[in-house]
Structure 1
Amino acid sequence: MKLLGQKSVSTILSYLFLVLFIIFLFHFIYQSLGFGIGYYNWTTSHHLFSETFYVNDEIDYASYEKGKYVFFRFKYPFSDQQMLTGFFTLNRFIFHTFQSIFFCLFFFYGYKTFGDLSQKELFNETIIKHLKTFTIINVLYAPLYFLIWIFIFRTGLEGGMLMTSFTFLFLGIILHFITVFFKRGFQLQSENDLTI
């Protein structure tokens, strides 16, 4: 099976990224709904979907002084499977929202890029635009992820945090080189078309 062009590996990868984008988009919407309903229930003492979107000052997996912390536990719809759990704070909301938005954008632009690689004309302005955006998303994620951990959660340097930041920064740098390669290929192709 060929790597590029129509009915190729790039086409399959494009569909895979599309499916992952849809899954992460639904996850983000459901998670945002959970934080919204949880906040509403906590501040108004209502019990709207309280089994699915649990928010309380006590939780069964840890013992803390009652009233000192607020916990949350969100379950997937129609199941007892946990989706998210932790302290119910603004910092936690910001972190999970940041993560979800990043992964939605990551898989969306992965889908767009591999979709462009499935076209007949490989070097075109559309793929260059999508690769640039994909590069920016990855390069920006690394320092933002790092800063969120340092300033919002006020933690020290951890190996996992540094590894994650480095991985996406490295991916962004590789994508930048690929973008330059495609830009150069598009220029050569345009010059070739003009000479013909």
Structure 2
Amino acid sequence: MSGLRERKKERTRQTLSEVAIALFLEKGFDAVSVAEVAAAAEVSKPTLFRYFPAKEDLVLHRFADHEDEPARVVAAAREAGVPPLTALRDHVLAGLERRDPVTGLNDAPQVLAFLRLLHGTPSLVARMQAFQARSEGVLAAALEGTPEGMPEGTDAEIPLRARLAAAQIVVVLRVLADENIRRITAGEPVDAVLPGAVEATREAFRGLAEGLPY
């Protein structure tokens, strides 16, 4: 029964996010109130806030599954005996091949519209920075094989080398995606961007491998 409740909650969360993003794309993020989103989704404001504590979360919900994605890749690599950086590189390359929007290599109109909304709204950009900071934290723990579920505020317990490595990896992933987005929004076809994106990924991870102990 609890599984059914969780699935219903996730469907509601997804619906609220989709309704909100449609309104934000139509009118602009700052021009749409939370009350307007709630009315369009036919829920009360308190109900909406139970699912999304902040207006920005309605947009960044799409990234929820990606926050700890690098950490999950590293954890799986550790179990398989694969070097973390090798696993992360191959994960990015696979994402490029399937045109995963997270890699920036996707020119679907709805994806490009969403990216313009995200990068063109200062409050969303700031929220993304917090997202990346959390991603760094869980990745640092995964690099060191630290058990999941560490209490917040325990970053100091993770070696500095792991925190530095995680910060560099997250920045590399962001810059690679941003470069793909830049080229595609400038009008280059995805198939023309792909070869350079693959080479840039390989080169970036070669550089990481030369300087990081992972």
Same fold (TM over 0.5): no
TM-score (norm 1): 0.33
In the superposition, the TM-score normalised over structure 2's length comes to 0.31
* Structure with greater strand share of residues: 1
Larger Rg: 1
